Structure 1
Amino acid sequence: MIKNILRIFLIIIPLFAEIDEDLQIFLGADALSNAEFKKARGIYADLYEKTKNIYYARELAIIDAGNGDLGSALQFALLYQNTTKDTKDLPTSKIIADSYIKKGEIQKAIILLESIIQQEESPMLDNILGTLYLNQKQLHKALVLLEKYYEFSNDEEALKKILAIHFTRNENHKVVERLQKFFENNWCSDDFCSKSIEIFKQFDKNDIANKIFKKHYEENPNIKNAKYYLQVLMNQEKFDKAEEIVKLYPFDDVLLLDLFVAQNKFKEASEQARKIYKQKNEAKFLAWSAIYYYQYHTNINKEDLQKVINDLNQAIEYRKVQREINRENANNEDAYFYNFLGYMLVEYNLDIMRGIELIKNALEIAPNAIAYIDSLAWGYYKLGDCSQAQNTFSNIPREQVGQDKELKKHFELIKKCYR
């Protein structure tokens, strides 16, 4: 009797174990379907620990990848593939390919993704593999997959990559054609609108840009569309029409400043820059106001010259304070201010030594700027240091000298300097 009872228990216990495992699998799948990833992971980790069934390692790889724990996901994916030799398993292969990409092992990622894409039609994979081909300059392969993905998604980022391929191949007409086709049935993000306008300008297709952005502005007259239309009008130098548009909307004052500068209306630009300086308390606008004031006065008198120098000095010192507060490095705009003031101090014999120091500050920021090298050479010339002037000016390529009236004038004078 006892033996019979033991025999029955020996039969029933494995059945209970199987039922419990099936129940845990059901609970794990249910947790996943309800996006309870932490709970699901706990269940599958427990199952793997108890059974060492390699298929639970596969589930753990997928769950960890979904949770963003890519290190653990990769570990389980490799464990699964190395144990089963199933190197064509899609979920774990994707995890391994993703790891290759993140580690910069692009060629390994490409080989693996080429295998995956043979098994699974996926627009997302087309985009990823196409982008990797582009990264490796395999332009034909990249174009085929990116075109396929773009046809599916109509995604701007994919179109940017397609345009980049045409740029690289010098297929400029295709760039313009693709943009025209895009604008027939789509509208653009802020970034892509601005980039498209610049591309049309670069290829001397402002007329096409005007047709596109004027039509859209007239159909949807709002400040954003007016801004794009303005950009096109300024590229076409249709300033009267641009000013009409500006007056209709509460545009940022900087846009109006740009419009004045584009028309060489330096008196209005100086006043506008000073107005912005008073509103925003940004020193750079005080500097620009002084520079435009100088450019407006073709025959500047001593009093006005001193006003320009005072404003530039104040702006430069204030900029230093603002950079320290914001923990910013000097930028190319600062370099321009340093050189402008430095050159004025040199040119008008007001303080040549300080002018040279300011120009050197500009060159620390932009060491290859030809205008600043010329300013420094001119400073040495004015100081009577012919050797330094000639050595400094020799850093300017000779072909550049012939293309610029001011450079040519300085070159001739410095060449004859023998003091």
Structure 2
Amino acid sequence: MYWRKAIVALAFALYGCGGIEPNFGPIYQAKPNGDLDIMNAYFMIENGDTSKASEIFYTLYKNSGNELFLKEAARLALSARSNLLYQIMGELNGNDAQTLRLKISYAILIYELDEAKKLALKLIKMDKSSQNYILLANIYAFEDDINKSIELYKKAYEIDKSEDNMIRVITIFNDFLGDSKSAIRIADDWVRQNGCSSRACYILLDLYSNSSDFDNMVRIYEKLYLENESTQYLVNALEVHLYQGDYQGAKRLLKKYEFNDDLLSQIYAQLGEYNEAYEVAKRLFELTNNVEYKAKMAIYKYELSKTKELKLIINLFEESVYKLENPVYYNYYGYLLIDHNIDVKKGLELVLKAYFLDFKSAYIIDSVAWGYYKLGNCDMAMEWIEKIGAKDLEQGEFKIHYDKIKKCIKGKR
């Protein structure tokens, strides 16, 4: 367990030392005719042989006595955990910031945490940078002194509130300390003050998602939309509302930004606000001349008024349903004609058309059975309704129809 912690701590410490990316400037200033060896060392790093590169810099140090080569050898040896690490670190002297970071990394690696803390405090006296406070905080975190580590991470963030540092700090809080509330608070405050950059807000969205905070997910998606003007963010926000079954939230979003009136009419219908649904569908038909909106108008008008405006409803269906070849509209219109005894034969023809377009729908099968029942053909009605699963036949309107068909058959016997 401690070894894994030490490796993570070492990664943070090496970040402070510049990682293992080539650092040509200082090295070339120190070169004693070692250009070829230096280039060879960095080629080895690119090929993944960091340990061998460390040995080359250590040899250059031995030949020249220049501390810059020794520091580079130590940095690479720490990264590779090479066999020469103990020997190289034994020769590393000095109290400059870079040397102290290397010594801290080594102390963490061999789990001498008290020594690492002592060196880190010394480093902070020299340089009160955010980076150095993070380094000290890491040491306390790996000692499981969570309160002290949190105090230091917060101090580091107070010093440097750049986006990079914010992301670094909230990653530590969330992933290593398990303190998602602090991570969210820091990220949210940063976004409020600095705006919704993609990186910051995507991380914040991820944090909210992990905590199932859907309202704040919607808020951040809206903020992203306002700052980037991409409708996809509104679609994402809408998906969150629909995932929750929050149709009121979906309605608010669709009305506010007016980016999908077709869906708005369906949301109105879902909420039972059929007059609003009808008016939106009517406006969309007038704008587009798309007859599907007439079929939707017919449905919304029926749900709103039932039989009060049958003439208008039938006209809307007649002007649309045959052009659409859609099982939903065939079934809805056909069932209306059947159930209200307006034209049962025509209604049965329509629901049979719906069945041939979608033969798996229990609702369409029920409509066909109901059509045969209304025509007095109860045996055929039973043959059809039994296509619906037994479990469904015990529920709602299916059960009402099933019981009436059974009663009809018994009456004939």
Question: What is the TM-score of this pair, normalised by structure 2?
Answer: 0.45
Greater relative contact order (CA < 8 Å, ≥ 6 in sequence): 2
Question: What is the TM-score of this pair, normalised by structure 1?
Answer: 0.45
